[in-house]
Structure 1
Amino acid sequence: MASILIVDDEPNNFDVIETLLSDRDDDLHYASNGKSAIASLDLFAPDLILLDVMMPELNGVEVCQQIKAMPKWTATPIVMVTALSSKEDLARCLEAGADDFISKPINRLELRARVQSMLRIKSQYDELQTLLKSREDMVNMMVHDLRNPLMGILFGLYVVERGDLPLKLKDKVSRSLIAAQRLQALIDDLILMGKMEQSQIQLHRTKVDLGGALGSAIERFTPIAAQKNIELIGRLPEPGSVVNADDTLFQRVLDNLLSNAIKFSPSSSEIVLAAELTAAGEAQIQVADAGPGVAEELKESIFKKYETGTRMAEVSQIGLGLAFCKMVVEAHGGQIGVRPNQPRGTIFEIRLPAMSL
């Protein structure tokens, strides 16, 4: 049984639609204006909204815009019911986010066809979301299950690395350990992203020394950068520069940005990690490399899950690192972006409100 919300300031129009759909097994609800319609969304949980355009206070176009701006209801089909017939008016309805429209006076066959079409689309969307949720749950379960065997591998590599080994073999063990640590970081990122998407993670803010955090990140990644003869340069803020941060998540953001920079930087180049507090107390952190750069059309998409930008041979690109950084930074009220590094390369920049991260 589908739930249909009919929004019209004329009760008689609801009676007409109810009569035209009387042989369908739908649950019809009525709202007499836009405000009450928006307020009743959670109560009626509509699968479809039939929305009158010409209403006092909030007109149908404004109501449509507000509903489509709500993440929970953005996929709910909205059919505009209107006496307007000009192409400009219909275009305004579609630009506001409406999925379809039907003209007054309402024709029974047309109404039924449009209702059936929109409900079919909504049903397909719901089935897809269920499938995606099941797949996400399965992935999360597999990711959790990978942790235990990986910890055994890491422990074994730690023990072997500290043993008395030939120099050549010791180097290979060290490389294997670094690869295993990267895999561990990826698994942790996946778990954290899943929790953040479901609003299950809480930020544990403490006063974090900005210079100390950057220095620790450089120390962690110097051995990895050395494998490509890349020099990590730190431009640290003035002593005493402090941010109110979830230290663990903040360090992981720095790790992901440095890891990306090393992957895409050519051998024998430099990566600069810099930070400062602005006069307004805002924290500004930059990671600058000399890699291939990011195309203008990809500057937004690279921060989405599983988006990798330009593919590069022999470079592992999963598309989770930057998505993780964006989620963490925005959870703390900040912004992350990318711009060109002159004469070549990329600068990833994080801007955080004063004492917010």
Structure 2
Amino acid sequence: MGNQPIVLVVDDEPANFDVVEILLFKEGYELHYKDNGAEAIASLPEVKPDLILLDVMMPEMDGIEVCQNIKTDPLYCHIPIIIVTALSDKEDLARCLDAGADDFVSKPINSTELRARVRSMLRIKTQYDRIQDTMRLREEMMQTIVHDLRNPLIGIMLGCDSLKTLDVPDRSKKRIEQISQTIAQLRLLIDDILTIGRIEAKKLVLNLSEVDMTKMVKSVLDGFEPLATSKQIQLIGELPEKSVYISGDKHLIRRVLDNLVDNAIKFSPQDSSVILSVETLPAHPDRPDLVKIQVIDEGMGISPEQKQVIFEKYEVGNIVLGLSQIGLGLSFCKMTIEAHNGSITVANNQPKGAIFTIMLDRKYV
């Protein structure tokens, strides 16, 4: 919010705006006026109001509908809305609250009440703006720090590669290989954090190409076979006979599958199985043709509480002894799939385990 708060007044009666203008004259606000809901919504990108005074009884689009439209728009839902109404019935006021209204002013307008409620809502908006500024600064600093970690990590990686060429005992070779694997994990984590930051800042540019999902899944299965074998877990691929294609960022989609399969193996007990499947869903007139990808394990499953937060950043779920949990993998998966206009969900496998399901638009070739 700038030095001069911006108030948008929406009322089909110009005389009502004149009243508001007179009552708020000495407050030093920048007032804007629209006489209908559609124009008010259309003006939001240009006006950028800090507060909206909204009349309820308007033709065509009433105040409740305008309020609902604004409060369901992620770009403008944070703007406080004060409903200005002659309605006094509790059910009517409840409808306004359900639509997202933040406060009320009754008609005829009392000058003292109006000024007090406007100041109150503007204080809330100021606090919101300060929090957003702090969060943006924090994210920018985090992205800068994470980006700068790449250089020392490359130095460690090169040093590790040099150690691999030395004639050292087998025990030392094993330790060097463990260090090399840890470095690879750190590089992937840094890439995930930077990708999440670009998605959140709406700066991610997908390198779209034609992706053969059948071929990619086979590659994922081959890559994780040694790890699964070492844990006595059977990796199973359920694939269609013909190749299935999507239009996507091949590198990012592969990292999503790697994350999901790695988690599935990590949380699965010995002598169990992990299934990675691909199938095309039948054509339907209400949606585009879809490709469904599933990762199914027989691990501990997902509690109802975890389902609500498991895709949130830094959420690690239940702590399991001996298993490292970063708290970014599933958040990265969700953001990446949604950047492809797809969806990812989780459900419980029966009798135990979890099923992660990805839906992506199918590309025909």
- Aligned with 2:183: secondary structure? helix
Superposed, which structure 2 residues align to 1:1-357 within 5 Å? 1-161=4-164, 163-280=166-283, 281-355=289-363
Instruction: Report the Cα offset of residue 15 of structure 1.
Output: 1.1
CA distance in 2, matches of 1:102, 1:63: 17
Q: Which runs of 4+ in 1 moved over 4 A?
A: none
Give the 3 Å change call, closer, same or farther, for CA 224–173 of structure 1 in structure 2.
Answer: farther
Contact 1:210-1:237 at 8 Å conserved across structures: no
Contact 2:246-2:361 at 8 Å conserved across structures: no
- Aligned with 2:135: secondary structure? helix
Give the 3 Å change call, closer, same or farther, for CA 224–182 of structure 1 in structure 2.
Answer: farther
Structure 2: unaligned runs, 5 residues or longer: 284-288
- Aligned with 2:345: secondary structure? strand
CA distance in 2, matches of 1:154, 1:287: 32
Give TM-score scaled by structure 2 length.
0.92
Give the 3 Å change call, closer, same or farther, for CA 152–217 of structure 1 in structure 2.
Answer: farther
- Aligned with 1:219: secondary structure? helix
Instruction: Report the Cα offset of residue 268 of structure 1.
Output: 4.2
RMSD over equivalenced CA pairs, Å: 1.8
Contact 1:235-1:275 at 8 Å conserved across structures: yes
Give the 3 Å change call, closer, same or farther, for CA 321–66 of structure 1 in structure 2.
Answer: same
Give the letter for the 2:107 counterpart.
Answer: K
Structure 1: unaligned runs, 5 residues or longer: none
CA distance in 1, matches of 2:278, 2:169: 41
Give the letter for the 2:296 counterpart.
Answer: A
CA distance in 2, matches of 1:78, 1:243: 43
Contact 2:56-2:63 at 8 Å conserved across structures: yes
Give the letter for the 1:160 counterpart.
Answer: L
Contact 1:150-1:180 at 8 Å conserved across structures: yes
Give the 3 Å change call, closer, same or farther, for CA 268–146 of structure 1 in structure 2.
Answer: farther
Instruction: Report the Cα offset of residue 226 of structure 1.
Output: 4.5
Provide, for residues 171-196 of structure 1, a one-character-per-residue CA deviation record: whole Å limited to 9, x for no partner: 22222222221111111011111112
Give the letter for the 1:174 counterpart.
Answer: E
Instruction: Report the Cα offset of residue 84 of structure 1.
Output: 0.6
Higher mean alpha-carbon deviation, 153-162 vs 192-201, is at 153-162
State the identity as a percent.
51
CA distance in 1, matches of 2:49, 2:25: 18
- Aligned with 2:315: secondary structure? coil
